[in-house]
A and B are shown apart, each in its own frame.
Chain A
Amino acid sequence: MSSAAAQYKKKNGTLSVSTDGKTVSWEGEGPGLGIAIADIGNLQQTPATAAKASIKIVVVDTSAQAGNHTFTFTSAAARDDQQMIRGLLQKGIEAAKAQETPAVTPAVATPSGDGGGASGAITMAKTVAASAQQDEDMYADAKLLSDLELQMSLLNSSPALRQRFDRALGEKPASVTMGQFSNQFWSTRLNLLRSHAAEKSQTTGSYNVLSVIKSKNVNGTLMLNLTKEQIEVVFRQHPIVKTAYNETVPPLSEGEFWERFFHSRLFKKLKGERIPDDYITDARLDKYLKYDENADAAQQMLVGTIPLFINIEGNEQNHSQQKGNRQDWTMVPSSNEKAPILRVLNRMSEKLMKDVPLADNHHAPAGQDEDTYKELLLRDLQRASDDNRVVLKVQDQSRFFSAGQSLQSSTSAAAYTKRTPSEVLSILQQDFASINTNSRTPGTDLHSKIAVNDDSDSEDESSVPKKSRVGSRAGRAAATTQIIVAIEKRHLHEDEYPSAKGVLNSEQAAKLGISETILDNLTMTHNTTVEFLHYFWDVYHSGNPERANEVAKLIETLDRSLDRISAVAHAAEAERNAQIEEFQRRNELYTQQTGKKRRFNPDAVKGGASAVAQIMQPLKRAIDAARSQYQSALNEQLAQAAPSNGL
């Protein structure tokens, strides 16, 4: 719910937009006013230069609130209020339009409004139904998209996202409205919104209050700061304190009571600290020391509501005392005087857990109903349990391939048909016979077989047309080159995720031969372009003719992205040229000083436009794919539309 102070018909009041972005209402002196946002036909505001900040809502004729309504913002930050309300309304209008629901929802009228009792009742009923549904719909896409506050808080919590949002906002084409933009931005990030909403809805539970209250030493006296809430929690967690308070406060003053309490044995006991024998006594409070700590244990215990899984108590076979043994020492109840803290902490935890609603509180207490029993059953251990796995009936794969799998079809198979199977066998057997010398000769001469001969280096130069032999020098050299190229390529691509692998940006930039600022620039450009590509495909595949204009705008944006990339490429090229010039200048200096010439190869300087082009190549391909698909689809549709329009 966002609201702002505003005047309506010269009366002061508050103009507010409901959180679901469905209604805008004004309340103040005189009758209130409620307008369904879907009914708004037009929205006008005073220009930023005007003295008064006001907004005019034109409601379409079919609505009960038809006509013009002008609201003048009255607060000190009137202009900001105006912007905020306008933004919300615009967003709501777009959401309403996007839904394409017939806009017949009656205006939400306040009971005193002129909407009439009947329509008021209907709206009331609707709201009730809506609020019941609200819990389930809290994470619905449309709701998340329209929740401005949630989006703002997510942006505030994530600087990286904020940066991306601002950047994309700055570069969006002017023709895309703020509402469209934010819709597109968030529609690709619904998961983030949803998790953020879930995160926000979590609250911290209660805590062990006594351990939090600490005394402070101020000017030599101990001071205690106790808030009202803390006192409340103390009473709730320790009913005995409440009893003590009730019974002692009329004689004592409140301050006195707390002062004495925090120095009393009772306090120490409740906290679980050991009480020294010589600790000061307090006649009034010490009588509460003997309270029954287990008095409220029964109602604290969760056990009652937790269904029994395995009843260990029922296991009589291993009852050691029946065999005359002493109880195991862990089973013997010990007095809690020695280490009261453990007991106190445990009890405290139980108390805290008691306040937490059960996730599955549909269980009947203790005595199990049939469903619970079935749920807890260890089915795997049942002797004759049914196999409840889903049987996957995979049919013979080759069935599908039988058509394409015959010897004749696929490319390699086609090549094989040149030889009959018997030919194939004889070729192989002959060939194999050359290596598989029979058992009487000792082993095979592998060296001659692989035919690597490092001594003869003229073999390939002398006879060029000779068919390349296995193991020839040229063959091996080609292999080396191929592998080295592959290694270099891999080396460059190794750090695809620089941050994840801990590789610094600067290292990456140095590898590519471009400066760090340009790499940063590229990263940013890449991010925003990917963002726009997302939008493009989103809208393109929506198949909604009303968004056709958006698609066209997004194509323009993608064109501009290409311009941005080339701008970065130019910058990189300029940088490289400057570097080359610098080298040349130094060389000249060197020549002047020493009289010797140094060779310099400009091609050795990496980076420049080519490096940028290399990095951006996949992105360019993606943009081109989007553009060409758009163009062809557009041409096709224009061709289809033309004759019908001509008629």
Chain B
Amino acid sequence: MNNIDGSDRHLKTEEAPPPSLLTIVLDTNPHAWAHLSSTLSLSAALANILIFINAHLASGNTNEVAVIASHSHKTSYLYPTKTPSQPTRNGDTNGDVEMNGNGTGRSHQESPNKYRPFAVVESTILQNFAKLLNETNESHLAATPTTLIGGALSLALTYISKSTLQHAPVTSGTENSMAALADAENVHVDRVALTSRILIVSVSGDLANQYIPVMNSIFAAQRKKIPIDILKLAGDTVLLQQASDATGGVYMKPERPEGLLQYLMMAFLPDATARASLVIPSAGGVDFRAACFCHRKVVDVGFVCSVCLSIFCEPNLPDNLCLTCGSYLSLRAALTNPPALIPKKKKKKRKAGTDTATPGGSTPAGSSTPVHP
């Protein structure tokens, strides 16, 4: 057909790397940041993260970013600002449309020395964070030493899911390409699906009480092929390490948190597309052990409820009922026998008799076990 009318009817596919959405879950637990303030202050960390975000936005025209704060009493979007109802969204350019001319709060001032998208992200994050900090009062802090990581993860996943849908509307492939062939005037570009990842900048420990919601989020991310990267600045938790391992993300626990920017840039900047051809810096040795639900001990060998998969560190449950879901759960059968290492006198004699008489069993039994009188 091309030869007949001289037109070029090839389908154009975008050759640039696919758009990438970076969702940062920033653990803003005030306790932890106050504790860290001598080595790495929150403001410095925020500045470093902002630069990291800029780097991410700069590495692709279509890249997007979302920042979610996981605070001690609530989780909230730092960027983009949640607007009550915006009539239209015009899509996929840096995501900065959210802020265009909406009247919530002060509008940022144009700086002649700053690339505008960067400035927009920066001022939005700072504004929203200031708001979050002002809302926090002492009773919130006294209530818990940790952060709502489970909620923040779910929020991140829902945001990713929404953006993915908005980005690549479901089309049936063949129809689309046929339409493109027919309509030669307009250049059709096959839309490339959004690749997303989650980066959790975590400073709090004690996440075991959110085991179930976090695990559910991990499995959801695994299904959607969304890597969860972990930057663990303080406090350790088995849970998040498992999150990165299960989803193929990067786990980093900096020895020198002062080099934060370097960690961010080196380990976390490549998106899923780039990572396919890189060796990602995840040191092996993931601690797969789980925390038991009854005493929050990290256990080597545990007992698992067959209904709700709760983990217990000892087989003696009250009334043989699972503590979490209340179903009947008897763990007696799961016990292993205590090892018996000394042969019984009487039995041994008989056994020894057959052993020597049986051709092949030439070694006298019990030669290696010292048996005291």
Contacts and interface: CB of A to CB of B under 8 A. Distances in A.
12 contacts: A390-B307, A416-B34, A429-B133, A431-B41, A431-B42, A431-B43, A444-B122, A468-B39, A471-B260, A474-B256, A482-B263, A642-B372
Interface of B: 30-35, 37, 39-44, 46-48, 50-51, 106, 108-114, 119, 122-123, 126, 129-130, 133, 136-142, 144-146, 204-206, 208-212, 234-235, 252, 254-256, 258-263, 266-267, 279-284, 293-296, 307-308, 323-326, 336-344, 347-348, 351, 354-355, 357-363, 365-370, 372-373
A544 B308 contact: no
A25 B133 CA distance: 89
A36 to B, nearest CB: 16
A416 B255 contact: no
B131 to A, nearest CB: 11
A479 B30 CA distance: 25
Nearest to B359: A45
Given A395-B325, A449-B47, A428 B33 contact: yes
B40 A470 contact: yes
Interface stretch (A190-198, A241-249, A419-427, A599-607): A419-427
B293 A397 contact: yes
Nearest to A429: B133
B141 to A, nearest CB: 4
Interface in A391-412: 392-395, 397-398, 400-401, 404-405, 407, 410-412
Given A410-B206, A480-B262, A483-B266, 6 more contacts: A43-B359, A412-B145, A412-B205, A419-B31, A421-B140, A436-B130
Interface string A439-456: 111111010011110000
Given A404-B296, A450-B51, A475-B259, A439 B279 contact: no
A551 B339 contact: yes
A339 interface: no
A489 B282 CA distance: 8
A179 B355 CA distance: 12
A450 B265 CA distance: 13
Given A432-B130, A494-B279, A552-B369, A446 B256 contact: no
Contact of A545 (B144, B145, B279, B347): B347
A543 interface: yes
A162 B254 CA distance: 48
B341 A551 contact: yes
A312 B76 CA distance: 55
Contacts of A432: 42-43, 46, 129-130, 133
A634 interface: yes
A475 to B, nearest CB: 3
A429 B325 CA distance: 42
A177 B358 contact: yes
B43 A405 contact: no
Category for how many chain A residues contact B:
35 or more
B308 A421 contact: no
B123 A443 contact: yes
A442 B111 contact: yes
B308 to A, nearest CB: 6
Given A412-B32, A641-B342, A469 B258 contact: yes
Contact of B342 (A416, A494, A545): A545
Contacts of B110: 442
A178 interface: yes
Contacts of B324: 394-395, 397
Looking at B44, B50, B133, B142, the one whose CB has the most chain A CB atoms below 10 A away is B44
A478 B256 contact: yes
A469 B38 CA distance: 10
Contacts of B30: 421, 424-425, 428
B108 A393 contact: no
Given A428-B33, A443-B123, A483-B267, A412 B206 contact: yes
A626 B160 CA distance: 47
B117 to A, nearest CB: 12
A42 B356 CA distance: 9
Contacts of B211: 397
B312 to A, nearest CB: 10
Contact of B41 (A174, A415, A470, A540): A470
Contacts of B281: 483-484, 486-487, 490
A108 interface: no
Contact of B325 (A393, A404, A441): A393
A303 interface: no
Contacts of A484: 281
Contacts of A393: 325-326
A43 B34 CA distance: 80
Given A432-B42, A645-B373, A475 B279 contact: no
Contact of A401 (B37, B296, B307, B373): B296
Contact of B106 (A439, A443, A542, A553): A439
A486 B282 contact: yes
Contacts of B295: 404
B206 A405 contact: yes
Contacts of A174: 362-363
A518 B96 CA distance: 59
Looking at A179, A479, A547, the one whose CB has the most chain B CB atoms below 10 A away is A479
A14 interface: no
A497 to B, nearest CB: 14
Contacts of A542: 337
Nearest to B278: A487
Contact of B44 (A416, A427, A449, A476): A449
A633 B145 contact: no
Looking at A434, A439, A469, A547, the one whose CB has the most chain B CB atoms below 10 A away is A439
Contacts of B254: 479, 482
A441 to B, nearest CB: 8
Contacts of B212: 394, 397
Nearest to B260: A470
B342 A436 contact: no
Contact of B48 (A97, A418, A450): A450
Contacts of A431: 33, 37, 41-43
Contact of A392 (B210, B234, B308, B338): B308
Contacts of A637: 340-342
Closest 5 A-B residue pairs measured CB to CB? A543-B337, A479-B259, A475-B258, A442-B111, A421-B141
A633 B31 CA distance: 46
B44 A470 contact: yes
Nearest to B366: A549
A567 interface: no
Contacts of A451: 44
A556 B366 CA distance: 12
B293 A421 contact: no
Interface string A375-393: 0000000000000001011
A450 B37 contact: no
A175 interface: yes
Looking at A97, A179, A444, A549, the one whose CB has the most chain B CB atoms below 10 A away is A549
Contacts of A93: 354, 358
A435 to B, nearest CB: 4
A471 B44 CA distance: 9
Looking at B208, B262, B282, B308, the one whose CB has the most chain A CB atoms below 10 A away is B262
Contacts of B360: 90, 177-179
A588 to B, nearest CB: 39
B262 A392 contact: no
A472 interface: yes
Nearest to A636: B341
